[in-house]
Structure 1
Amino acid sequence: MSTHASYYVPEQSRWPILASIALFLLAFGAGTLINGITHETGGGLGLLMVLAGALLMGGILVGWFGNVIHESRAGLYSAQMDRSFRWGMSWFIFSEVMFFAAFFGALFYVRTLAVPWLGGEGDKGVSQMLWPDFTAQWPLMNPPDTEQFAGPKALVDPWHIPLLNTVLLVTSSFTITLAHHALLKDQRQRVVRWMGVTIFLGITFIGFQAYEYVEAYTKLGLTLNAGVYGATFFILTGFHGLHVTLGTVMLIIILGRILKGHFSSQQHFGFEAVAWYWHFVDVVWIGLFLFVYVI
């Protein structure tokens, strides 16, 4: 039984203030780079800040979650604390849903409003005067200012790598569910086996997406500068790829904890939290496959 039956109040920690510093370095450095500030005016400093912030945040996560694991293994957490963790993870995933909802909203705004307006919807005369050769269609292959933003030469075929990646992620949702059911039955070898398959599927997805990006840049002319289609394509798929990468790292950490015997059939919220996150990443990809690649 937990020695803190009602509520656990942790000791004062340096992690929150250090995390704030790391986030500031990441945000300020990324803003410097995105806005195209040159080395003479601080571009080199921006890259240095991003790297420093990323390294600091990585160290913070290792130390902070290490403390949480130690406290959990020491029996300091009660049922109330378990509920707090579950609510916290639920709200975190909700914030991620809103994060992607904003980008999907931008995509729909461009497709259903901005592009038709640029094509002259409501004022054809002005449109023809400004961009006489512009055709309002999606995907946008010929941006209005083709001299500054050349459109892509071709689009990614959704029925090859994107479809394969969809199969990989959907399959991984089943394999992590099988691992969860095995953990509930204390079948350790099955847990390790299905977790290993899930991690393999996640790494394979990342590899295929990297190959797709190289092909898009080198052969298709589909880059971040390829008009609004290129920008929305890489922002949506890129952030999702980052989430898959982080999710895969989380799965590897959970597998390591399973091998150390950290979880039981009754107490394994760390496993459940990562599984929730992985299912969320899978659902987002289905939306991306449909609205970015297919439709």
Structure 2
Amino acid sequence: MAMTEAHANGYYVAPPSPWPPLAAAGAFLLLGGFALWLHGYGPLVSAIGGAVVVFVAFRWFGAVIGESRAGVYHAASNRSFRYGMMWFIFSEVMFFGVFFGALFYLHYLAVPWLGGEGAKGAAHLLWPHFVNQWPLLVPPNPSEFTIPKEAMGPLGIPTFNTVVLMSSGVTVILAHRALLAERRRALAGWLAVTIALGLAFVALQAHEYRHAYLDLNLTLNSGVYGSTFFLLTGFHGLHVILGATVLTVILARVLQGDFSPADHFGFKAASWYWHFVDAVWVGLYLFVYWW
């Protein structure tokens, strides 16, 4: 279908773009370089891949913003954007679901089996001296692991960070309401508060990691507890950084006069993602810190 015919029927077909293959190449270099980095070959390849991904994201989203401002998107295009964002968030749910599933499997199945409990308690024969005392597990070869002094408790920074992130969910809702009411100054103000709360969350999490490493002796090398703790909270922290970056772009567009009560899917998609990040943290707070 020719571009003009497709546009006439309400669906904009973009011209050929170099960004999809470049994004795929950047992602390959980023992840492949990270795998090489784990084997001692240095972070150069991963850094190049990360730079390519950031450059492509900047240019590609810039092109989409330009097309949006040009008014080429219609109802069918907007529906495809909504479906795309929904499937993206669904893929993120599955991503975190895998880690939550691993945490459940380790805590309630594998570790008790190794301790001689449950239907497969014969696994205790592998390491007869292993004791099921989650999360402070003592491995059969402790010299190869960092044994934590204590687990990361839920009080203090984790609880305060929960309040911070839940508050940011409220402020992004207030920003949406301000947008619908065409109160531009309030919209920009609530967005700025949301971004500040997200950055405060990341800063507090960095302080928590420092406390874990220096005071609790809890590291990535602290067996399955250390691995699951840092993987779950670390990946969530990366998602908070990504969400705050997206909201910063949205704020810049707001200051330039973009979005209206009738046309603001870019803002809505960013708020969906932010609420998803909030919801994941609730699960992390309950199952990683309290469980």
Q: Where does residue 20 of structure 1 map in the other structure?
A: 24
Q: Which runs of 5+ in 1 are unaligned?
A: none
Structure 1 residues 125, 13: closer, same or farther in 2, change over 3 A?
Answer: closer
Q: Of residues 245, 261, 264 in structure 1, which corresponds to 2:260?
A: 264
Structure 1 residues 125, 73: closer, same or farther in 2, change over 3 A?
Answer: closer
CA RMSD of aligned residues (A): 1.6
Q: Where does residue 127 of structure 1 map in the other structure?
A: 124
Q: Where does residue 208 of structure 2 map in the other structure?
A: 212
What is the CA distance between 1:150 and its match in structure 2? 2.9
Q: Where does residue 247 of structure 1 map in the other structure?
A: 243
Matches within 5 A, 1:92-131: 92-121=88-117, 122=119, 127=124, 130-131=127-128
**Structure 2: which amino acid aligns with 1:32?**
L
**Structure 1: which amino acid aligns with 2:103?**
L
CA deviations on 1:7-55 (whole Å, 9 max, x unpaired) are: 1000000001101110110111111123xx23xxxx12xx111100000
In structure 2, C-alpha distance between the alignment counterparts of 1:276 and 1:129, rounded to whole Å: 47
Query: 1:140–1:227: 8 Å Cα contact kept in structure 2?
Result: no
In structure 1, C-alpha distance between the alignment counterparts of 2:53 and 2:126, rounded to whole Å: 51
In structure 1, C-alpha distance between the alignment counterparts of 2:156 and 2:9, rounded to whole Å: 54
Q: Where does residue 193 of structure 1 map in the other structure?
A: 189
Query: 1:139–1:229: 8 Å Cα contact kept in structure 2?
Result: yes
Q: Of residues 25, 29, 32 in structure 1, which corresponds to 2:33?
A: 29
Structure 1 residues 194, 5: closer, same or farther in 2, change over 3 A?
Answer: farther
What is the CA distance between 1:137 and its match in structure 2? 2.1
**Structure 2: which amino acid aligns with 1:52?**
I
Query: 2:136–2:150: 8 Å Cα contact kept in structure 1?
Result: no
Q: Where does residue 137 of structure 2 map in the other structure?
A: 141
In structure 2, C-alpha distance between the alignment counterparts of 1:17 and 1:225, rounded to whole Å: 37
**Structure 2: which amino acid aligns with 1:275?**
S
Query: 1:71–1:77: 8 Å Cα contact kept in structure 2?
Result: yes
Query: 2:180–2:261: 8 Å Cα contact kept in structure 1?
Result: yes
Q: Where does residue 9 of structure 1 map in the other structure?
A: 13
Q: SS state of the match for residue 142, structure 2?
A: coil
In structure 1, C-alpha distance between the alignment counterparts of 2:286 and 2:34, rounded to whole Å: 30
In structure 1, C-alpha distance between the alignment counterparts of 2:120 and 2:247, rounded to whole Å: 53
Q: Percent of pairs identical after alignment?
A: 52
What is the CA distance between 1:4 and its match in structure 2? 4.7
Q: Where does residue 3 of structure 2 map in the other structure?
A: none
**Structure 2: which amino acid aligns with 1:127?**
H
Task: State yes or no: 1:167 paired with 2:167.
Answer: no
Number of paired residues?
A: 285
Normalising by structure 2, what TM-score? 0.94
Q: Which runs of 5+ in 2 are unaligned?
A: 1-6
Structure 1 residues 4, 159: closer, same or farther in 2, change over 3 A?
Answer: farther
In structure 1, C-alpha distance between the alignment counterparts of 2:122 and 2:180, rounded to whole Å: 67
In structure 2, C-alpha distance between the alignment counterparts of 1:125 and 1:192, rounded to whole Å: 61
What is the CA distance between 1:257 and its match in structure 2? 0.4
Q: Which has the higher contact order (CA 8 A, sep 6+)?
A: 1
Normalising by structure 1, what TM-score? 0.93
Q: Where does residue 292 of structure 1 map in the other structure?
A: 288
What is the CA distance between 1:145 and its match in structure 2? 2.3
Structure 1 residues 213, 143: closer, same or farther in 2, change over 3 A?
Answer: same
Q: Of residues 260, 277, 285 in structure 2, which corresponds to 1:281?
A: 277
Query: 1:143–1:150: 8 Å Cα contact kept in structure 2?
Result: no
